Amino acid sequence: MSHSTFEHPYFGVFVLFVLTCVAFTLTLRLQRIISRKLAKKDREKLKLSTYECGPTPTKQQNRISTHFFIFALLFVLFDIEVIFMVPWAIDFKLFTHIGLGNFVFFEMLSFIGFLLVGFIYAWKKGAFSWQSIK
């Protein structure tokens, strides 16, 4: 039993895909042609600078301490810890009923242990003291 190409169940989808690709390509090329015709040809010094909007670029401002970055990174780290612990705490009773209570408890205990090691490391490095970072 021979089927012609037009009887294939996905032939219409293929035709629409090809037409969409052609229309997309033609639209992009038309947009590029129109934008080149309408674009201004003058090149000012400010236009060619790396920062073309807002105030004129000046000398470098005061540097921001990396302490803010480290503090924010530690906050995100321990915030994600809480995000992992809340569903665990909610479902702990369910795990206990199906016999996985001890396994899940020690799994979370090891997770907290790893985070505690990271916390102690950050503390020893002085990440929580505002004066200096080692």
Number of compact structural domains in the chain: 2
Structure tokens at 42: 């003058």
Same domain, 71 and 121: yes
Query: Where residue 21 falls among pLDDT bands split at 50, 70, 90?
Result: very high
Q: For residue 110, give the H/E element and its range.
A: helix 101-125
In angstroms, the CA 83 to CA 80 distance is 5
Same domain, 118 and 79: yes
SS3 category, 42: coil
The amino acid at residue 127 is A
Q: What is the pLDDT of residue 107?
A: 92
The answer to the question of residue 89 being in a domain is yes
The answer to the question of residue 50 being in a domain is no
Same domain, 33 and 81: no
pTM of the full structure:
0.46
The answer to the question of residue 134 being in a domain is no
Q: Residue 21: which domain range? A: 5-39
Q: What is the pLDDT of residue 46?
A: 58
Listed ranges 7-11, 19-23, 73-77, 125-129; the one with the highest mean pLDDT? 19-23
Mean predicted lDDT score pLDDT of the chain: 82
Q: What is the pLDDT of residue 22?
A: 98
